[in-house]
Every structure is written in C-alpha cells, then in structure tokens.
C-alpha cells in the first residue's frame, strides 16, 4: 500500500473540550491476548457508531500499545523506537514509569460522547485488561492549564503537524504511526498560588495574561519554556501536546494530564531529561517544585489501517 493511502489514527485531530485517558494492563493468558487482537478491528467501528449520534461532536479515539504488550500481542516486526518508558531525575523529582500496556485517548466536544465510547470499548475488552489509570479531562477557560497559563502554545500547525507527529519512510512498515508519551502531574496549588504573578511567569517563561514568551534577558534558563525547546541541526523539533486539566476539588486534587505525540520518542525524552535532570545537570525545571509526575508511559500508535490488520496477527 502506498504511504499516501495509509490512514493515520486521529492523532492530529483538533483539541476538543473533553477527553478521557485510559491506561490498562493486559491480563495473563492467550485468551486475553486473542480478545485484544480481535478488539483492534472494532475500535474504528465503535467510534463511528457512537460519533454518529452527535455528528458535530468531533469524537475520536487513539489507541496505542506499550513495548511489552506489542511483543506479547503482535510479535515482530515491531516499531523501531518502541521501548519501555525511561525514567529521569533524582529522588523527590523523578519522571516515573508506571504499568501500562494499552492507552486510549478519547476526545470529543462533549463528555457524554467520550463516556459512551469509553464504556463500549471497555465492555468489548472485558476481563482481558485491567484499568490502572483513568482520567477525565476538560478544557479550562481559554486553553489554560489548572495553574493558569495557556497550554500548547508552541504546538506545530498546518502541514507541520503531520511532519512532526507521524512516522515516515524511516520505518516503512509503520508509516503514519506515532509515538505517544503520557504523564499525570499533580500540582501543589496552595504553594503555587502563593507566588506573585511575576514569580509564576519566571517559572513558566511566559506572561500569564497575554501568553507572550519572556525576553531572553529576563527568562531564567531553568524556566519551563527554556527547558522544553528542543533543537536539532539548528531547527526546533516540535511535539504535539493535547494536555488536559483534571481535578477533584473536594479532595484537593488538581492536575494536568500531559500527552505528547511525536514521530520519535527522542524529543519528548530529551524534554523530560532537561526538565527532571537539568540542562546543565542541576538546572532543572522549577515548575517541578510545584508539580509531581505520578504516572508515566510510552506507547506506539499504529496507523488506522495497521490497527485493523493487527487483529489477524499472531505473535511469532
């Protein structure tokens, strides 16, 4: 099949008002693996069926698989850059790896659409998986995170979205696939809100109200924006973020679900190393003084065509 005829999953879909993120582990045994493989052929159909109820709801679902799960479910060949999540940092400031074999990223303008699709997808999987993390995210005012700053400002736009997010000829058996890294961050909102706006802006590296990057002679080298810009051969390498706020005010939980798509995990991993280890070492992201990563996983998102084909694959 020619590369331009291979359809990607909805990685590049516009950011919506609502999302559900589900991370699950695969149950032991050949029967569970067989159930998941068969389910791969049903994801697109279930998404279409639920989405037809509200045609302008922009319902979509992205499905990804972790490194160990890929081997168990599908065997070889495998995506060239798929590996277990790499931890970075030191005790008390670490990008942690947590269990996860399957990722579902469900998006829509309405939470009821996300909820219904998640219900149908999980019912089809049954006991073949166990959910280890589930987050319902929402758009917060004008694309802001819980901490009050606009999120995703530097996302690629236009044709650059596919260029930076979808695998190309460098891995021909997996073209139009994507790598996705997820982390759940919890924020110390009391301590964060105790900072002045000016102090918060120096932590982030952008102005809070107008979302303008601080001048180089003002922005600290340990600011979040300074450490998450990755350059290669003089060109910035971008990732596609679709982060969502989440929280439970009644128990004091306020967080950001980070989800980043890229054609290789390398730029996202470099960002995490810069943030948690520092650039240079020790010059870490000061946002981490107020935010703690409590989950971490790396997954490969096969193209839509390959996802259906995987239903027939047996591990070698």
Dist CA 289 CA 223 (whole Å)? 11
H or E stretch at 225: helix 224-227
Dist CA 39 CA 122 (whole Å)? 10
Dist CA 266 CA 277 (whole Å)? 16
User: Does 68 qualify as catalytic in the annotation?
Assistant: no
Catalytic residue among 68, 112, 142, 151: 151
Give the residue among 256, 259, 262 at the shortest CA–CA distance from 239: 262
Dist CA 166 CA 6 (whole Å)? 11
Dist CA 108 CA 103 (whole Å)? 17
In this structure, the number of other CB atoms found within 10 A of the CB of residue 250 comes to 6
Tokens 């998006």 sit on residue:
107
CA distances from 57 to 18, 47, 60, 111, 113 (A): 10, 12, 9, 10, 8
Q: Name all contacts of 283-287 with Cβ < 8 Å and 24+ positions apart.
A: 283/221, 283/222, 283/227, 284/89, 284/93, 284/222, 284/227, 285/222, 285/223, 285/224, 285/227, 285/228, 286/203, 286/220, 286/222, 286/223, 286/224, 287/203, 287/204, 287/224
**Which pair of structure tokens corresponds to residue 135?**
């987050």
Q: Looking at the annotation, which residues are catalytic?
A: 151
């Amino acid at each position: 099949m020619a590369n331009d005829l291979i359809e990607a999953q909805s990685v590049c879909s516009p950011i919506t008002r609502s999302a559900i993120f589900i991370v699950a582990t695969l149950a032991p045994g050949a029967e569970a693996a067989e159930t998941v493989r068969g389910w791969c052929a049903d994801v697109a159909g279930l998404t279409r069926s639920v989405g037809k109820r509200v045609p302008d709801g922009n319902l979509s679902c992205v499905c990804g698989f972790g490194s160990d799960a890929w081997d168990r479910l599908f065997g070889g060949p495998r995506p060239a850059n798929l590996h277990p999540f790499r931890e970075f940092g030191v005790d008390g400031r670490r990008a942690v790896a947590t269990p996860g074999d399957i990722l579902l990223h469900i998006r829509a303008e309405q939470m009821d659409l996300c909820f219904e699709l998640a219900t149908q997808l999980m019912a089809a999987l049954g006991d073949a998986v166990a959910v280890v993390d589930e987050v319902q995210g929402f758009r917060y005012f004008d694309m802001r995170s819980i901490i009050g700053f606009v999120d995703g400002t530097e996302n690629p736009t236009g044709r650059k979205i596919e260029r930076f997010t979808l695998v190309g000829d460098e891995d021909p058996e997996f073209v139009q696939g994507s790598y996705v890294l997820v982390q759940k961050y919890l924020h110390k909102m009391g301590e964060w809100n105790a900072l002045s706006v000016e102090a918060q802006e120096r932590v982030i590296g952008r102005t809070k109200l107008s979302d303008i990057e601080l001048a180089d002679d003002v922005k600290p080298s340990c600011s979040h924006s300074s450490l998450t810009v990755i350059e290669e051969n003089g060109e910035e390498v971008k990732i596609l973020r679709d982060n969502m706020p989440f929280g439970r005010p009644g128990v004091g939980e306020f967080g950001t679900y980070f989800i980043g798509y890229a054609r290789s995990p390398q730029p996202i991993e470099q960002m995490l190393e810069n943030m948690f280890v520092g650039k240079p070492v020790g010059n870490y992201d000061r946002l981490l003084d107020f935010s703690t990563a409590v989950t971490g996983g790396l997954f490969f998102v096969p193209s839509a065509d390959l996802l259906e084909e995987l239903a027939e694959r047996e591990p070698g």
